[in-house]
Structure 1
Amino acid sequence: MTNPILKENERIDQLFSTDVKIIQNKEVFSYSIDSVLLSRFPKLPSRGLIVDLCSGNGAVGLFASTKTSAKIVEVELQERLADMAERSIQLNDLSDQVTMVNDDLKNLLNHVPRSQVDLILCNPPYFKATETSKKNISEHYLLARHEITTNLEEIFSVARHALKSNGRMAMVHRPDRFLEIIDTMRQYNLAPKRIQFVYPKLGKDANMLLIEAIKDGSTEGMKILPPLIVHKDNGDYTDEIFEIYFGKNSRANG
């Protein structure tokens, strides 16, 4: 029996700690651990308005929806990914809370009021668009991974106009762009406040960076949080990651 909400080559995955189900297609786009960690990194406002930029198939906003009553607006340029996200919203009966906007993030203020957003989440393309960008991957992955349709300056410029004063922005990115991210945030009156490096294993170099900034915030008081290790030496998730994926009591019950 096929699920009528699914299209060809799609499957439904579940983040067990939340019961949220996400429509995935490995040929088009699948969320990974960066989306999960981003949805759990900032303190979510209990109400108000959250925007998820570069939302892909909607995973970050959908995961965040279980921890807040705030309205969530997801913004995704690619029609195929936005369609997957819209069907995931329906699948989880979240249409009253979560809205998908299929548009360029440059047009965000056509969809949300200026200076009224409490929190912006963003899992952007990580790589600069160069001649050596891997062109053999699908167009969907190419746009999701490379700064072809947007870049840091554009994202932070949009965030500055959409966020309330003292509103926050949380982003996941690559450590090799760390200084560029901080410099660009400051150009747009976003003061970095919380930073956490994510490591695949103990003793390995960091491969992810979580960063949270406050609009119009003081440039003082930035915190570097303890490192987040994803895997133990044997390949299993560390306790902290296991809890994020499966919930606090699942290991004891497993």
Structure 2
Amino acid sequence: MEELKRPGERVDDLEIRGRKILQSPGRFCFGMDAVLLSAFARVGKKERALDLGTGTGILPILLEAKYSGDFYAGLEIQEESAQMARRSVKLNGLEEKIHIITGDIKEAASIFGAASFEVITVNPPYMIGGHGLKNDREALYVARHEALCTIDDVLRESSVILKSRGRFYMVHRPFRLPELLTKMCRYGLEPKRMRLVCPYVDKEPNLVLIEGRKGGKPRMKVEPPLIVYEKDGSYTDELNALYGRQTGR
């Protein structure tokens, strides 16, 4: 383990099947949105799943731990993050099951080829241009803002890479929902399932989980909201279950 960890990094326990991940506070550490997306997505037996903009590899590692897919890949444009993801894959002994590729989302279809995956996941930058607080650290800024790719880039490339009837899973912000759903339809990724995530039961949602299907028929299921916190600030039982934790309630 120590030979894979670099100065300033830490090893976090993912609390599922002994999986671990290397994290660096100076770069973009994964958050709750990645955990929620891994629980919302589905990867069936013999299916191949690709995570676009994988960062330090949290989604492929979580998906491999939760589902019985045949192969997982992650695409990341920032080489330092991609290298950290590869070291995390090696830390878990998953080199044969998970591949991390350095590359640009805008070129993803040419990298992987058409109709090459059954499942795509993406936790894209939420902010457009100057929206939100700009962070001087490049890795953090790229992770949070559409600096290197847009939602159009993500959807266009996903539409090519997915097989017919393939599934597209995304976590995003509700304030962009009209744009997201409209553009998903435009690129042939029909919205099929959606779930809003609320910090408290009486607060408006701050995340949305969306499933699209390539070539799917128009009809979308809206699931009950996921509530993150109880009134006392502790996680709800459902949120704890998604993290794999047991509660006494």
Please give the TM-score of this superposition, normalised by the length of structure 2. 0.95
In the other structure, the counterpart of 2:195 is 196
- Equivalent residue in structure 2 for 1:238, among 210, 228, 236: 236
Provide Cα deviations, 1:51-75, integer angstroms capped at 9, x if missing partner. Answer: 0001111101110001123211100
Question: Residues of 1 paired with 2:16 and 2:239: CA distance?
Answer: 11
**What SS class does the counterpart of residue 182 from structure 1 fall into?**
helix
Instruction: Please say if 1:166 is aligned against 2:151.
Output: no
Q: How does 1:141-180 map to 2 (within 5 A)?
A: 141-180=140-179
Asked whether the equivalents of residues 191 and 212 of structure 2 are also in contact (C-alpha less than 8 Å), the reply is yes
Contact 2:43–2:69 at 8 Å: present in 1 too? no
Measure the CA separation in 2 of the matches of 1:209 and 1:244. 16
Q: Distance in 1 between matches of 2:132 and 2:172?
A: 17
The residue aligned with 2:46 is 47
- Counterpart in the other structure of 2:73: 73
Give the superposition deviation at 1:235: 1.1
**SS state at 1:34 partner:** helix
**Residues 181-234 of structure 1: per-residue CA shift (max 9 Å, x gap):** 000101101100000000111101101000000001111x20000100011111
Q: Is the 8 A contact 1:17 1:243 kept in 2?
A: no
Q: Give the Cα separation in 2 of the matches to 1:69 and 1:222.
A: 25
User: Structure 1 pair 120/73, CA: closer, same or farther in 2 (3 Å)?
Assistant: same
Structure 2 Cα separation of the partners of residues 137 and 241 of structure 1: 32
Instruction: Point out the more displaced range, 202-211 or 60-69.
Output: 60-69
Regions of 4+ moved over 6 Å: none
In structure 2, stretches of 5+ residues that fail to align are none
Equivalent runs, 1:221-236 vs 2, <5 Å: 221-236=219-234
Aligned to 1:111: 111
Q: Distance in 2 between matches of 1:137 and 1:46?
A: 42
How far apart are 1:177 and its partner, in Å?
0.5
The change in CA–CA distance for 1:18 and 1:128 in structure 2 (over 3 A counts) is farther
1:133 to partner: Cα distance: 5.3
Does 2:16 align with 1:28? no
How many angstroms apart in 2 are the aligned matches of 1:51 and 1:150? 17
What is the aligned partner in structure 2 of residue 17 from structure 1?
Answer: 16
CA contact (8 A) 2:48 2:69 kept: no
User: What is the distance in 2 between the residues matched to 1:217 and 1:25?
Assistant: 40
Tell me, what secondary structure is at the counterpart of 2:228? strand
Query: How big is the alpha-carbon RMSD for the aligned residues of Structure 1 and Structure 2?
Result: 1.6
Structure 1 residues without counterparts, runs of 5 or longer: none
Q: Any idea what the Cα deviations from partners look like across 1:73-132, whole Å, max 9, x if unmatched? A: 1001111111110000000111111000011012223432311210000000000012x6
- Larger displacement relative to structure 2 (65-74 or 96-105): 65-74
Give 3-state SS (helix, strand or coil) of 2:112's partner: coil
Separation of aligned partners in 2, 1:241 and 1:158: 32
What residue number does 1:251 align with?
A: 247
Query: For each residue in 1:16-46, what CA deviation from the matched residue of structure 2 results, as whole angstroms up to 9, or x when unmatched?
Result: 1342211111111100000011111022122
Contact 1:34 1:172 in 2 (8 A): yes
What is the DSSP-based 3-state SS (H/G/I as helix, E as strand, rest coil) of the residue aligned with 2:192? strand
Q: Name the structure 1 match of 2:36.
A: 37
Counterpart of 1:211 in 2: which secondary structure? strand
Percent of aligned pairs with the same residue? 33
